């Protein structure tokens, strides 16, 4: 039983290592670009954990805005998101 647990723990560690790799790979926005924007807006130094948090939150923001804009495009009978969908989505 104990060895089964250990084997499970090893597997779990392997899996979480894999997940961690996947999670890091999932980021689409380049960290350097996000840090550049932060520095243009008054940030003197940005910790690496803070930079990653900015990336994650910016991606979530884009995801939310896109989902709303997509709903509006479909409502207008289109499959292509237009600027007007993004603008209206940002207002709601």
The contacts found for 11-20 with CB under 8 angstroms, 24 or more apart, are: none
Hey, which residues between 53 and 72 contact a second copy (CB under 8 A)?
53-54, 57-59, 61-63, 65-67, 69-70
Classify residue 38 by burial, with Cβ atoms within 10 Å: 0-12, 13-18, 19+: middle
Q: For residues 23 and 63, which CB has a smaller minimum distance to a second copy in the complex?
A: 63
Residues 6+ apart with CB under 8 A from 82: 73
Nearest-approach distance from CB 24 to a second copy, in angstroms: 15
Hey, which residues between 11 and 50 contact a second copy (CB under 8 A)?
28-30, 33-34, 36-38, 40-47, 49-50
Contact call for residue 88 and a second copy (CB under 8 A): no
What's the rounded Cα separation, in Å, for the pair 44 and 65?
A: 29
Q: How many residues does the chain have?
A: 92
List of residues contacting a second copy (CB under 8 A): 28-30, 33-34, 36-38, 40-47, 49-50, 52-54, 57-59, 61-63, 65-67, 69-70, 79-83, 85-87, 90
């Amino acid at each position: 039983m104990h060895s089964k647990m250990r084997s499970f723990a090893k597997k779990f560690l392997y899996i979480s290592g894999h997940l961690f790799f996947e999670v890091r790979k999932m980021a689409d926005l380049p960290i350097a670009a996000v840090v550049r924007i932060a520095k243009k807006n008054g940030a003197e130094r940005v910790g690496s954990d803070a930079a990653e948090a900015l990336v994650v939150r910016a991606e979530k923001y884009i995801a939310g805005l896109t989902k709303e804009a997509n709903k509006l495009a479909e409502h207008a009978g289109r499959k292509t998101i237009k600027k007007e969908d993004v603008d209206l989505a940002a207002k709601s």
